[in-house]
Structure formats: C-alpha cells, structure tokens
Structure 1
Amino acid sequence: MMCGGTGSVSAATKEIQKICDSVKAAAEEKAGKTYEVFTAKSYTSQVVAGTNYFIKVHVGGEDHVHLRVWKKLPHTGGGLELSNMQHSKTHEDPVEYF
C-alpha cells in the first residue's frame, strides 16, 4: 500500500461490523431512512491522521450503501465519525475511495 492510498479490499471482520454498528444512527439520519439490515460485507482502509474506513454495507434486498468512517487518533479523542455515504450501490459495486 502506498502512503496515503487505500489498501486492498478485504472481507468485513467483527471489528468492521462494530464500526458500522456505531455509525448506523448517523447513516440512517443522513439517508433519511431506517435500515432493518445493516451488515458489513467488505472494506478497505486509508491511513491519514487516523484511519478512513470505506465499508460496503448490505441494507436489505439487493441494496447496499458505502460508508466512509474516520477513526480519529487517540490523542485527538479517538472516536468514529461518519464522513460520507454513497447510496444506491449493489453487491457488485467495488468499495473504493470517495
């Protein structure tokens, strides 16, 4: 992985699902809807001042969303922030930087 670039796409882990669970309310607010299903499928990450996670999330039926979640550095308070979100994604759409 080059400095500042994203790594390869990997299958979602329990840690990635926990990140999704923690930003679900923010994602629902941003989307203006409630998700019955919110299952992380795959992700890639980028080291910045903290870490950006780009996560493909299954939200029911054939629908997916992509989340960009910023994990802040511990000395800045840590924590997670939903930075951006893409709607109307499919299982086939690659998860990548946005």
Structure 2
Amino acid sequence: MAEVSGGWTDVKPADSNVKEICNEVRPDVDKREGKSSEEPLQYTSQQMNGINQGIKVHVGGEDSLHLKAHQEYDHFGVGTRSPLWSRKTLAMS
C-alpha cells in the first residue's frame, strides 16, 4: 500500500529506532504496568507535525502493550519524545 501524507504506514517489524524508543520509555512503562516490557514486535508510523509511532511490545505470555510515541522536530533536526501507552488485546496486523 502506498503511504498517504498524514496516513499511517503499513505495519513493519521493529527496527533499531523503535527499539531505542522502547529502551527510553521502558522504566516508566514497567513501573506503571507492574511487569517487565520485553521486545518490541512491530510498529507503524505517521508523519504529522513530527512522527507518531504505534509500537506493539511483548510483555510476556500472550500479553502485549501498544505504545504511542510522538517525536517532535526542533530547529536542529533532533526531536523530543512523548510516550503514551495502553494495554491492548487486539493484534496490530
């Protein structure tokens, strides 16, 4: 499927950038959820006033969390990330 400006990309396997985002937010997610988040599985992204990323993270057994991270652009090309997360039972793909 072709990407549409402002639309979400197809679901892709987690890459090194997604793993970096998960490592940054892992302590907060683990503390809030009371269990250790494990490996990011897959993600989708959307370019809109920065980059939104929806990331599916395995947390053990059949459980997963869906994280949403927004990376803003600043004047020098380095962004800041604002993570949100929620427990999901639906598969991304």
TM-score bracket for the superposition, by shorter chain length: 0.7 to 0.9
**CA 75–27 in structure 1, closer or farther in 2 if over 3 Å, else same:** farther
Q: Which 5+ residue runs of structure 2 have no aligned equivalent?
A: none
Aligned to 1:47: 47
Cα RMSD over matched residues? 2.0
Match for 1:5: what amino acid? G
Which letter does structure 2 place at the counterpart of 1:94? Answer: M
| Structure-1-length-normalised TM-score | 0.79
Q: How does 1:19-58 map to 2 (within 5 A)?
A: 19-31=21-33, 33-35=34-36, 37-58=37-58
Quick one: distance in 1 between partners of 2:74 and 2:12? 24
Q: 1:27 is paired with a residue of what secondary structure?
A: helix
Q: How many residues matched?
A: 90
Classify the secondary structure of the residue corresponding to 2:25: helix
Provide the TM-score with structure 2 as the length reference. Answer: 0.82
- 1:79 alignment counterpart: 80
Q: Does the 8 Å contact 1:65/1:85 carry over to 2?
A: yes
Decide which moves more: 17-26 or 38-47.
17-26
Q: 1:8 aligns with which of 5, 10, 21?
A: 10
Moved over 3 A (4+): none
- Aligned-pair identity in percent equals 29
- Say whether the 8 Å CA contact 1:16–1:40 is kept in structure 2: yes
Judged with a 3 Å threshold, the aligned counterparts in structure 2 of structure 1 residues 30 and 75 are, in CA distance, closer, same or farther, namely: farther
